[in-house]
Chains A and B, each alone.
Chain A
Amino acid sequence: MLYIKCPYCGLRAQKEFSYGGDATVKRPNINEEVSSEDWDNFVYMRKSPRGKHIELWQHIAGCRQWIKVQRDTATHEIFQTAKVTEEIR
């Protein structure tokens, strides 16, 4: 079970979080034209890297904030966590 540092609450067990996927995906702006290709990339296409991955988790049984977690998908090492308003590296 991972040990995730919520930027608001501190180190908490994985049980308190739910996973939210790639944090680097940016939704096309609302009310703006978007090409089918860009839209499909946003909805469906995800990289599945072996190694460093910046992802979203929600502290669902805690402060309910969505947070960013930089994790190694192979070793589960967590390098950094941040608020969603903050940049990771």
Chain B
Amino acid sequence: MSQPFRLNKEGLINRNKKISFTFNGKKLFGYEGDTIASALIANGIHLVGRSFKYHRPRGFFGAGVEEPNAKLQVEFNGHSEPNVNATEMELVEGLSATSQNCWPSVNFDVGAINNFLKMFFPAGFYYKTFMWPKSFWYKIYEPFIRKAAGLGVASIEKDKERYEHKFEYCDLLVTGSGPSGLASAYAAAKNGAKVILAEDKPRFGGTLLTDDVSIDNLSGKDWAEKIITELKSMPNVTVKNRSQVFGYYDHNMLVMFERVSDHLEKKSKFTPRQRLWYIRAKETILSTGSIERPIVFGNNDTPGIFLSAAAKEYMKVYGVLVGKKPLIFTNNDSAYETALEFKKNNVEPIILDTREEHSSELIDEAKSKGIDIRFSHGVIVANGYKKVKSAKIGKLNKDKNSFEKIETVDCDCICVSGFWTPSVHLASQSGNKLKYEEKIDAFIPDKKKQHETSVGAANGSFTLEESLKNGFENGSNLSAKITDTKTEIAIPNVNEKKYGAHDKFWCMPLPKNENPKRFVDFQNDVSVSDIEIALREGYRSIEHVKRYTTLGMATDQGRTSNLNGLQLVSNIENKIVPEVGHTTFRPPFTPITIGTIVGREVGMEYMPTRKTPMHEWHEKNNAVFVDAGAWKRPRYYKQGNETLFEASKREAKNVRENVGICDVTTLGKIDIKGPDAAEFLNRVYTNAWMKLPVGKARYGLMLREDGIVMDDGTTTRISENHYHMTTTTAQAANVLSHLEYYLQIVWPELNVNVVSTTEQWAGAAIAGPKSRDMLSKLYPDLDVSNDSLPFMGYKEADFFGVPSRIFRISFSGELAYEINVKSDHGMFMWEKMMEVGKEFGNQPYGTEALSTLRIEMGHVAGPELDGRTIPSDVSLNGLVSKKKDFIGKNSLGREAFNVESRQKIVGLIPIDRKSSIPEGSHIVQDQNAKLPNPKLGHVSSSCWSVENNNPFSLAIMKDGKNMIGKKFFAVSPLKNKSIEVEVISSHYVDPEGKRVRS
């Protein structure tokens, strides 16, 4: 197998290692060090995809990050990834690439009919087409758009790869390892600064790898290697290749995307695929270089048309010819280097130079080598559908708006150069307002906004000498300010070719009666006529033109199209480019994988898992867990083939009839200490707290300042100046912050300290009519009678040798206790309870039974305290003191909180006593009423009442108390249910609360 376009010697690839891969099913090979693009071009393959709108054949245009066309679906290392940039992805053994956006195949694409129906796809076609009739949307337009358009296909398989995040700090971050980046990093490293040097490509050196220059008598490539080797040996320097700094965020935070192992055939299990670096840099050097600018001409998107520097890079780095009959189309000297490189490899190029005949070092050299140069010439239109076959070229008149002579020349590739555009994306993201530099007809960074310094080509310096000087100086000065060390470095001697001035010319005119598409933005299929239409239709702001035409959007971010677009707008509008301005550059500079953004925060690692000390016991006893915030709580303990419904009913019933125990460790616990603790609680809670005796607990309700209920729980006075507060599991963290806010900011004069003790205590609730009997067995030496330990009583006692706290509080509405021991003793306590409880019929119960018990008692919880209810809405106005002030009190007087018809908590039972009412159902008068059906309330919590053996729900309902006895419908369109219900009291079981006091 020979590779028809591979050179024999040239290039930095490893010819000793062949790599096989497939493209659209065809078996091919390349070499280690190839990209997919270089390997395909070596094999003579140029047609790789279809364009977004018109499905025109597209090939490669660039050799790196600037590539707008060659996005492939790539399968490698066991996964499939869409939109992979073929010019960046390195070849790995067994890789399989396929074209995107074509159907049924890249060679015969049905969507290409769009190309012939262009009138349907003018600028703004997203807004104009597919608008009416409305009924066409789902059935016709959307399926059509989905099938015909779009890029690659996201995998539906779970991503098995590992992705990582890393946080790093440094004195100087250098983004790009071209000459100015290397110089900056080197100077800063010599000053002792902590340096990170990031290079997007696999090879360091940037343009030094391809330019014909020498530094201190070394070739550019050798000099780069020498500097990199030295940097790598320094302990204060981190050097990273395959790493793209793609975002510049606030306070000098930069984010970098590292492709750690995509290029490796084998890797260890724990090697991540990719890594996201959050880098906080004291100073940043932006040495991001520049991207070549195209010149716009007819059918300039035909496969075989390249940026001139890309063609040179394919030869010098990959040993690959992009063609054997090249046309070089340029407005400046740099493309002459590409021509000379072709010539060196025995390929005869023709140079079309838009400038009038003149002389410069490079032109003279090209002439002396016998290269055919045609001044005042340009490509009018490329011929060939799937590959360039020839080009119509023209001699421009003096004004460059028409042609003196037109002819057709054969060619198999066109290498185009419209001068250079500094890569200012990161500078712009940092907040730097760019300025227009007339000398190079492009934007460069203006005054610093953060600690960013652009050097070299990124700052508009296009000579090597200037770039190096720039780099050394800035690297040295910026780091010296941080390290207080300044090492003198001799600036090396440079040998480079001098460039003449470029031509300010970027768009070829068209001869009369010819109208081929001239593309400005390849990725988004935006042509010159689209921009003309947008302006004709009245769009003026460049941001509007961008959105209307889609110019410069998507993954490409206008890398090759931006300035040509602006130039066109300014020409039509008779303005200069800086008046038109530029659109916003947004991160990421290049596409990054979602996996990298997610990192390790996926699946079980999405957030930390909190387990109670009794977790293992629950696991062993068939607990089915439910997430309560980060906590895992047993929802029910499954016996045999029980369903959730059956198990929770059994558990709840057992609590009502015998006794059950429940792990309540997850409740928030806050220790409150200090001489002003009582006064503080009195302000935080709505009820009175000044007279709570030591050894007593009290139920408390806290509000936000706007009067809405924030949380509820019990607080116990442990000793004179010491209280133990409990919060709901969900609100634990918020309540702590809330208390800290008032103590630190509002009432710093109160001498009180608060600290979370949630993790310090393990808790178990014992509930049911037999709980006192069980308790007396657990504490044989303690008087647990109703007189000695009454409802809301508290005792400290020894639990089989372990100190414990006993609270007589109840959430279930039954006679109940809560025991706390130190977390370390949690399992011991639990097992002891299971052992001792046997004779009383004790069973563990989970959150589902717990909910059932509290719902049928009418105890409110999270679903009722939903951030919209005030105390009287949930029948808790008895807890609101009229005598004292507290947080949120003043809001309770607001008019809307006091209207008679305000929402109130009620109970609901189905008329048929059988149908469960879905939570979230809306309560309506008439289930068949015309939409929108007036909503009278909603169902907040539902259960199967084990006491009455029928469904029961709590609801928040308009004018609730006056609705008792009336009938309504609870409708749930989600569950497709409508249930006739009767409104009853929210206290369905034991409304007088006798049991808890028994």
The reply to whether the CB of B232 lies closer than 8 angstroms to some CB of chain A is no
Q: Whose C-beta in chain A lies nearest to the C-beta of B754? A: A64
A contact residues around B252 at 8 Å (CB)? 3
Q: How far is the CB of A49 from the nearest CB of chain B, in Å?
A: 18
The answer to whether A1 touches B251, judged by C-beta atoms less than 8 angstroms apart, is yes
Interface residues on B, range: 20 to 34
The answer to whether A39 touches B890, judged by C-beta atoms less than 8 angstroms apart, is yes
The answer to whether A30 touches B278, judged by C-beta atoms less than 8 angstroms apart, is no
The answer to whether A1 touches B741, judged by C-beta atoms less than 8 angstroms apart, is no
Please, how many angstroms separate the alpha-carbon atoms of A65 and B743 in the complex? 10
Please, how many angstroms separate the alpha-carbon atoms of A78 and B706 in the complex? 30
Q: How far is the CB of B613 from the nearest CB of chain A, in Å?
A: 24
- State whether A43 and B251 are in contact (beta carbons under 8 Å apart), knowing that A30-B885, A58-B741 are contacts in the complex: no
Please, how many angstroms separate the alpha-carbon atoms of A31 and B889 in the complex? 10
B contact residues around A34 at 8 Å (CB)? 890
B contact residues around A36 at 8 Å (CB)? 890, 893
The answer to whether A66 touches B741, judged by C-beta atoms less than 8 angstroms apart, is yes
The answer to whether B740 touches A66, judged by C-beta atoms less than 8 angstroms apart, is yes
The answer to whether A60 touches B737, judged by C-beta atoms less than 8 angstroms apart, is yes
The reply to whether the CB of A85 lies closer than 8 angstroms to some CB of chain B is yes
The reply to whether the CB of A62 lies closer than 8 angstroms to some CB of chain B is no
The reply to whether the CB of B745 lies closer than 8 angstroms to some CB of chain A is yes
Contact of B431 among A60, A64, A75 (CB under 8 A): A75
The reply to whether the CB of B621 lies closer than 8 angstroms to some CB of chain A is no
Contact of A76 among B167, B250, B683 (CB under 8 A): B250
A contact residues around B249 at 8 Å (CB)? 1
Please, how many angstroms separate the alpha-carbon atoms of A59 and B280 in the complex? 19
The reply to whether the CB of A2 lies closer than 8 angstroms to some CB of chain B is yes
A contact residues around B747 at 8 Å (CB)? 30
Q: Whose C-beta in chain A lies nearest to the C-beta of B707? A: A43
The answer to whether A43 touches B740, judged by C-beta atoms less than 8 angstroms apart, is no
Please, how many angstroms separate the alpha-carbon atoms of A43 and B251 in the complex? 32
- State whether A84 and B251 are in contact (beta carbons under 8 Å apart), knowing that A39-B891, A66-B740 are contacts in the complex: no
Considering only residues 18-77 of chain A, those with a C-beta below 8 Å from chain B are 18, 20, 27-28, 30-31, 34, 36, 39, 42-44, 56, 58, 60, 64-66, 75-76
Q: Whose C-beta in chain A lies nearest to the C-beta of B747? A: A30
The answer to whether B744 touches A84, judged by C-beta atoms less than 8 angstroms apart, is yes
Residue from the set B683, B706, B737, B745 with the largest chain A CB neighbour count within 10 Å: B745
Please, how many angstroms separate the alpha-carbon atoms of A20 and B885 in the complex? 24
Interface residues on A, range: 20 to 34
The answer to whether A65 touches B250, judged by C-beta atoms less than 8 angstroms apart, is no
B contact residues around A78 at 8 Å (CB)? 251
Please, how many angstroms separate the alpha-carbon atoms of A72 and B307 in the complex? 43
The answer to whether A42 touches B741, judged by C-beta atoms less than 8 angstroms apart, is no
Q: Whose C-beta in chain B lies nearest to the C-beta of A18? A: B737
Please, how many angstroms separate the alpha-carbon atoms of A36 and B894 in the complex? 9
The answer to whether A3 touches B741, judged by C-beta atoms less than 8 angstroms apart, is no
Please, how many angstroms separate the alpha-carbon atoms of A35 and B292 in the complex? 67
Q: How far is the CB of A50 from the nearest CB of chain B, in Å?
A: 15
Q: Whose C-beta in chain A lies nearest to the C-beta of B679? A: A30
Per-position 1/0 for B963-985, Cβ under 8 A of A: 00000000000000000000000
The reply to whether the CB of B156 lies closer than 8 angstroms to some CB of chain A is no
Please, how many angstroms separate the alpha-carbon atoms of A2 and B249 in the complex? 8
The answer to whether B885 touches A76, judged by C-beta atoms less than 8 angstroms apart, is no
A contact residues around B745 at 8 Å (CB)? 56, 66, 84
The reply to whether the CB of B931 lies closer than 8 angstroms to some CB of chain A is no
Please, how many angstroms separate the alpha-carbon atoms of A48 and B656 in the complex? 54
A contact residues around B890 at 8 Å (CB)? 28, 34, 36, 39
A contact residues around B744 at 8 Å (CB)? 65-66, 84
Please, how many angstroms separate the alpha-carbon atoms of A60 and B734 in the complex? 11
The answer to whether A31 touches B885, judged by C-beta atoms less than 8 angstroms apart, is yes
B contact residues around A18 at 8 Å (CB)? 737
The reply to whether the CB of B780 lies closer than 8 angstroms to some CB of chain A is no
Per-position 1/0 for B881-908, Cβ under 8 A of A: 0001100001101000000000000000
The answer to whether B683 touches A42, judged by C-beta atoms less than 8 angstroms apart, is no
Residue from the set B167, B280, B885, B893 with the largest chain A CB neighbour count within 10 Å: B885
- State whether A76 and B737 are in contact (beta carbons under 8 Å apart), knowing that A30-B747, A42-B705 are contacts in the complex: no
Please, how many angstroms separate the alpha-carbon atoms of A56 and B893 in the complex? 28
The reply to whether the CB of B70 lies closer than 8 angstroms to some CB of chain A is no
The answer to whether A43 touches B737, judged by C-beta atoms less than 8 angstroms apart, is no
Please, how many angstroms separate the alpha-carbon atoms of A20 and B706 in the complex? 16
Please, how many angstroms separate the alpha-carbon atoms of A3 and B624 in the complex? 42
Please, how many angstroms separate the alpha-carbon atoms of A44 and B431 in the complex? 33
Q: Whose C-beta in chain B lies nearest to the C-beta of A28? A: B890
The answer to whether B740 touches A64, judged by C-beta atoms less than 8 angstroms apart, is yes
Please, how many angstroms separate the alpha-carbon atoms of A18 and B740 in the complex? 13
The reply to whether the CB of B1 lies closer than 8 angstroms to some CB of chain A is no
B contact residues around A64 at 8 Å (CB)? 740
Contact of A2 among B250, B431, B706 (CB under 8 A): B250
A contact residues around B140 at 8 Å (CB)? none
Please, how many angstroms separate the alpha-carbon atoms of A65 and B736 in the complex? 12
Q: How far is the CB of B684 from the nearest CB of chain A, in Å?
A: 11
B contact residues around A1 at 8 Å (CB)? 249-251, 253, 278
Q: How far is the CB of A9 from the nearest CB of chain B, in Å?
A: 15
Please, how many angstroms separate the alpha-carbon atoms of A28 and B744 in the complex? 16
The reply to whether the CB of B604 lies closer than 8 angstroms to some CB of chain A is no
Per-position 1/0 for B697-718, Cβ under 8 A of A: 0000000011000000000000
Q: How far is the CB of A12 from the nearest CB of chain B, in Å?
A: 11
The answer to whether B705 touches A43, judged by C-beta atoms less than 8 angstroms apart, is yes
Contact of A58 among B250, B449, B740 (CB under 8 A): B740
The reply to whether the CB of B500 lies closer than 8 angstroms to some CB of chain A is no
The answer to whether B280 touches A3, judged by C-beta atoms less than 8 angstroms apart, is yes
The answer to whether A43 touches B431, judged by C-beta atoms less than 8 angstroms apart, is no
Please, how many angstroms separate the alpha-carbon atoms of A58 and B884 in the complex? 29
Q: Whose C-beta in chain A lies nearest to the C-beta of B252? A: A3
The reply to whether the CB of B746 lies closer than 8 angstroms to some CB of chain A is yes
Q: Whose C-beta in chain B lies nearest to the C-beta of A78? A: B251
B contact residues around A2 at 8 Å (CB)? 250-251
- 19 A-B residue pairings within 8 Å (CB atoms): A1-B249, A1-B250, A1-B253, A2-B251, A3-B250, A3-B280, A13-B167, A18-B737, A27-B705, A30-B885, A31-B884, A39-B891, A43-B706, A58-B737, A60-B737, A66-B740, A66-B741, A75-B431, A78-B251
Listed from nearest, the 8 A-B pairs whose CB atoms lie closest are A3-B251, A76-B250, A39-B890, A31-B885, A66-B744, A30-B885, A1-B253, A84-B745
| Besides A30-B683, A65-B744, A66-B740, 19 new A-B residue pairs in contact (Cβ under 8 A), listed by A number | A1-B250, A1-B278, A2-B250, A2-B251, A3-B250, A3-B251, A3-B252, A27-B705, A30-B747, A34-B890, A36-B893, A43-B891, A58-B741, A60-B737, A66-B744, A75-B449, A76-B250, A84-B744, A84-B745
